[in-house]
Structure 1
Amino acid sequence: MATLQELLAQKASLEKQIADTQREERANAIAKVKSIMSEHGLTVADLSQRAPSAPRAEGTRKVAAKYRNGETGETWSGRGLQPKWLKAALAEGKQLTDFAV
């Protein structure tokens, strides 16, 4: 059976091997990326550009607000989850119709 000192030495050796392997794999990955970038004439600036957003489907538009908070001007279209300001007001006893636009 191995002693504590032997096990700790094995652990240190394995941790060093793990770190070395991670550095080597990272260096290989960087080399591959650089090669691909060079092959396609790409720069780092090219990587940071956002992809163009998809155009909206014809006939779609922003939904008009159905409810408005008279104090703050916040609105809600009636779709999705109720906003916090509306939930709080309803909890205080107000009606949804009180906020109708």
Structure 2
Amino acid sequence: MAKSYKDLLADKEKLEAQLEEARLAELGAAIQQIRDLMAQYDISIEEIGGRRKRGKTGPVAPKYRDPKTGATWSGRGRAPLWIGKNRDRFLIAE
């Protein structure tokens, strides 16, 4: 006879607990192995693709200007409605 839905859910919860327990048990060994290899080969986190600190850049200079209103746009992000399809007309000459 097939197990009931509640019995299957209980089995699922037990299996998930066993899975997490096994993962945590192996995780420590895996991390230690990675640390040992990094020390052996003198590898830094940056060399293996760790997070890189990005410097914040300042505001971008405007690239386009609406001659009627004086509104500007840097060319980044969503285009303003006043720019239309021909952007060359609004380029700021520097």
TM-score by length of structure 1 reads 0.48
8 A Cα contact 2:65 2:73, kept in partner = yes
- Take 2:24 and 2:33, find their aligned partners in 1: how far apart are those partners? 14
Q: 1:3 corresponds to which letter in structure 2?
A: S
- Residue 11 (structure 1) shift: 1.6
Unaligned ranges ≥5, structure 2: 53-62
- Take 2:5 and 2:78, find their aligned partners in 1: how far apart are those partners? 59
RMSD: 3.5
Unaligned ranges ≥5, structure 1: 51-66
Query: Counterpart of 1:59?
Result: none
| Closer/same/farther in 2, CA of residues 30 and 82 from structure 1, 3 Å limit | closer
- Residue 97 (structure 1) shift: 4.8
Which residue of 52, 64, 75 corresponds with 1:68?
64
Query: Counterpart of 1:47?
Result: 45
| Closer/same/farther in 2, CA of residues 5 and 89 from structure 1, 3 Å limit | closer
Where in structure 2 are the equivalents of 1:23-62 lying within 5 Å?
Answer: 23-42=24-43, 46-48=44-46, 50=52
Say yes or no: does 1:89 pair with 2:87.
Answer: no
8 A Cα contact 2:83 2:90, kept in partner = no
TM-score by length of structure 2 reads 0.51
- Residue 26 (structure 1) shift: 2.0
Identity %: 19
- Where 2:3 maps in the other structure, the secondary structure is coil
- Take 2:87 and 2:25, find their aligned partners in 1: how far apart are those partners? 62
